[in-house]
A and B are shown apart, each in its own frame.
Chain A
Amino acid sequence: MSPTTGPVSNEDLMAYVDGQLDPERAAEIASAVAADPSLERRMAAYLESRAALSGAFDEVLSEPVPDRLRMLVLGDAASSRVVRMDRSRRSPALYGWPQAIAAGVVLTVGVVIGAYLLPASSTDDVFATGLVTSDRALARALESTASGGLSDVGEHRFRVLQSFRTTDNSVCREYQAGDANRGATGVACRTTDGWRVEVQVASDAPEQVSSYRPASGVDVAAIDDVLYRLGALPGFDAAAESCLIANGWQLDACTME
């Protein structure tokens, strides 16, 4: 064992107290301390702070995780979206929406959005969020409908706006659905358990789906936020999308950039 090189520094003593030295060096310091009582005095601050602080707030560890934190992490995109929508709701003018909107319409949108972000009760409801089981019409539509074309899903009109992949190699599709009474824009991603609707946001004008008018400012903000969180990459062109539909959405079956 080599002799201690030079005087023992405070940081040597601190590292010794904290168990941060390799066994050889620790043994050297131990010998030095045994030989020189002044070293023990210099170690005192480290020993005392270590004793006082390790375990100081351990009570927190045995507390259950607060609901608001648990829900934040585990809640699906739709429920956390409700919070964001409330904070970010703006008048349409701020998004440069050209048409003048009566205050009454905006209020209706607000009420409708709240309702749409709750899980649907009917299993056939095209406006549901979360996992879409393969027996549902929405699942079949997401699986095989090309972007752009209007089709029917149950009682509703349906159109896929774009398909894209994300930075973690998931495939997602942005779509609109609606009927005479209500409409929504949604984003669904394909998982091993099936398509999963990450978010649905109510459209301000239900006939949007049929006429494919651009989404309102409120829709765009909500969807953009979800796309960012998903790590969305630019959408597939028509050829790439056709290939993917034909190959069950397997990315490596089709040449990607």
Chain B
Amino acid sequence: MDDTSELRQRMITVIPRLRRFARGLTGSQHDADDLVQVALEKALNRLHQFEPGTRLDSWLFRIVQNCFLDDRRRASRREIDMDNETLEGMSNSSPADHADTEARLSDIDNALATLSDAHRVVVTTVLVEGYSYREAADMLELPVGTIMSRLSRARKALKPLLSPEKAR
């Protein structure tokens, strides 16, 4: 049980990145935290399945993306509602956001929302989370070739939606 408590401490350190990942996938921080909570519950129920010495972050990211995709598959109609929700959510953003940050997130969230779930997962994993193609392939349990072709197609599709001035 000591092993479990150390593993749990390590899980806490990964949560900020899981929240950011879920933010990219869902388009709202509230939905993101709900997704992370469901994923963490799953992870806690399977702690004994985690192989010591393997990457804890990969394991947790994989659970988050599976929860996300499962949930979306269950609510396939939600894709239409999601776009509306995203647009609405942007105009009612939390007061804490700066105006220009809000605008920038708005464009990016809207742009990401136009991608299919599978494409958005790959784009978020590689570009937002900074994983290499190989790491992404391992985490998402896909061949590297699939990662690259989805990534390429998604980014070409995003081009007209992302203004060049949005670069940091």
Give A contacts to B, CB under 8 Å: 10-11, 14-15, 18, 20, 44-46, 48-63, 65-66, 68-70, 72-74, 80, 166-168, 170, 189, 191-193, 196, 198, 228-231
B47 at the interface (CB under 8 A from A): yes
A50 to B127 CA separation, bound complex (whole angstroms): 6
Q: Which 10 A-B pairs have the closest CB atoms?
A: A231-B48, A51-B167, A53-B127, A45-B159, A49-B155, A60-B20, A52-B162, A57-B23, A167-B48, A61-B16
A10 to B126 CA separation, bound complex (whole angstroms): 17
Interface class of chain A by DSSP: helix
**Contact for B158 among A45, A60, A62, A72, CB less than 8 A:** A45
Shortest beta-carbon distance from A49 to chain B in Å: 4
Q: Which residues of A contact B1 (CB under 8 A)?
A: 170, 189, 191, 196, 198
Shortest beta-carbon distance from B10 to chain A in Å: 10
B83 at the interface (CB under 8 A from A): no
- B167 engages A52 (CB within 8 Å): yes
Interface residues of B in 148-168 (CB under 8 A from A): 148-149, 151-152, 154-156, 158-159, 162, 164, 166-168
The answer to whether A228 and B37 touch (CB under 8 A), given A11-B152, A57-B23, is: no
Per-residue A-contact encoding for B14-35, CB less than 8 Å = 1, 0 else: 0111011001100001001100
The answer to whether A69 and B149 touch (CB under 8 A), given A48-B164, A55-B168, A57-B20, is: no
A54 to B2 CA separation, bound complex (whole angstroms): 37
- A49 engages B12 (CB within 8 Å): no
- B155 engages A14 (CB within 8 Å): yes
Q: Which residues of B contact A58 (CB under 8 A)?
A: 20
A53 to B60 CA separation, bound complex (whole angstroms): 22
